[in-house]
Amino acid sequence: MKLRTFSLLLCGAFVSMIPIESPAESPADTPAFTAEGYRIPRTGQTFSFPRNHGSHPDFLVEWWYLTGHLEDETGARHGFQLTFFRRALRPAPEQTVDSPAFGRDHLHMAHAAWTEIDEKRFTTEERLARNGWDAGASTLGLDLFQGEWRLAARSDAANPVFDAFFTVKNRYRALLTFEPRKPLVQFGEDGVERKGADPAAASHYFTWTRLDVRGTLEIEGKALRVRGQAWMDHEISSNQLDREQVGWDWASIQLRDGREIMMYLLRTRDGGISPFSVLYWVDRAGEVTQVQPGDFTWRPRRTWISPESGARYALDWVLELRDPQTETRTQFEIRPYMDAQEHTGVLSGIPYWEGACGVYQNGLPAGKAYVELTGYAEALGNQLRE
């Protein structure tokens, strides 16, 4: 298995499987498993929390993805990303009870990044390990670790308070507590978020769109109190793209009025946009409104060339769409706080851009966002079956 394939399918020992109960009759056009034996997301599944916040080792890949905006006690602004990935090395029926010190069934990758917005400083780190003593993900609930990095719920509540501890290189140490301010959202139709014409190109996609954050940050040993808001995705899949798709632009937008927008555009080889692209509004109560790709536009206004990877990223976007609250067309400008927010992919081999951004409407601050850009250094679809 190539490390690059692990990252493409992204963006403890596992013996006890989390059941996702199947409906009495499954859709005829969606197989239950891939040819390799990994489970495929299917409609009509029943999820039970908190256990489904945990790992699903019968699927090929999943990730838990945190991004957020913080302010420290001095008023300085910060952005952060913390992501835990799990990638199965063999399907569930072949997984065995491994040595706790060194597993053979799953690879775990973790990415962390910290942005000192006012200082224009971006720092990132990657980690990679097999399941066992150095990395793991519980099947019983939210409890993940990669070395000393940790993401774990404080209780077995369905909507729990949870904590994260992570470092970024030798400069940052963060201990953060997250409290959901809205219900957990499941994107997609009948529990499945389709990414392509291939029925296997789909995911189960859960999100907390607004989390209150508090905690401590150490910068080179200096301790600071921090507060802010975050976003967390948990996505479960066995395939993310069709062959004709080269990558995606993804955005999580938290507006000052208490609403959120999640959007992704799946870019195709011919320079077009896949019809499986989508945008969602989440209102103040957590209710979701889906918007089809023909009903919104995402337009970059300039490009930035990475001096590390050579990738040419399209940045500084205008999002135009209908506001379901006012029933009028509106525009948002999403501006990166700095251009150089690229993960260079030292371990994964796949560079991608993940950046903290401000959101503006009619020239005035309207919210904050994180944007992810993949497939700009190399078309991801080239490697999906490698």
> Is it the case that residue 382 has pLDDT exceeding 90?
no
Task: Determine the pLDDT at residue 125.
Answer: 97
Q: How far apart are alpha carbons 53 and 57 in whole angstroms?
A: 13
Beta bridge partners of 266: 248
For residue 175, which of 116, 103, 224 has the smallest C-alpha distance?
Answer: 224
Pairing of β 162-168 and β 149-153: antiparallel
Q: How far apart are alpha carbons 309 and 303 in whole angstroms?
A: 14
> Is it the case that residue 23 has pLDDT exceeding 70?
no
Task: Average the pLDDT over 318-339 and give the result.
Answer: 97
CATH of the domain at 270: 2.40.370.10
**3-state SS, one letter per residue, for 259-328:** CEEEEEEEEECCCCECCCCEEEEECCCCCEEEECHHHEEEEEEEEEECCCCCCEEEEEEEEEEEECCCCE
The confidence band for 139, taking pLDDT boundaries of 50, 70 and 90, is: very high
Task: Determine the pLDDT at residue 177.
Answer: 98
Chain Cα centroid distance, residue 269: 23
What tokens were used for 112? Answer: 């962390």
Provide the residue range defining the domain that includes 307: 3-383
> Is it the case that residue 287 has pLDDT exceeding 60?
yes
The residue ranking higher by pLDDT, 186 or 23, is 186
> How many helical (H) and strand (E) elements, i.e. helices and strands, does the chain have?
1, 23
Note the pLDDT tens digit of each residue in 346-369: 888 889 999 999 999 999 999 999
> Is it the case that residue 19 has pLDDT exceeding 70?
no
Note the pLDDT tens digit of each residue in 140-178: 999 999 999 999 999 999 999 999 999 999 999 999 999
pLDDT above 90: percentage of residues in the chain: 81
Q: How far apart are alpha carbons 217 and 176 in whole angstroms?
A: 8
Chain Cα centroid distance, residue 301: 24
Note the pLDDT tens digit of each residue in 70-119: 999 999 999 999 999 999 998 887 786 555 556 789 999 999 999 999 99
Task: Determine the pLDDT at residue 94.
Answer: 79
**3-state SS, one letter per residue, for 113-143:** EEEECCCCEEEEEEEEEECECCEEECCCCCE
pTM (predicted TM-score):
0.91
Number of domains in the chain: 1
C-alpha distances (whole Å) from 334 to each of 6, 108, 300, 357 are 30, 32, 9, 6
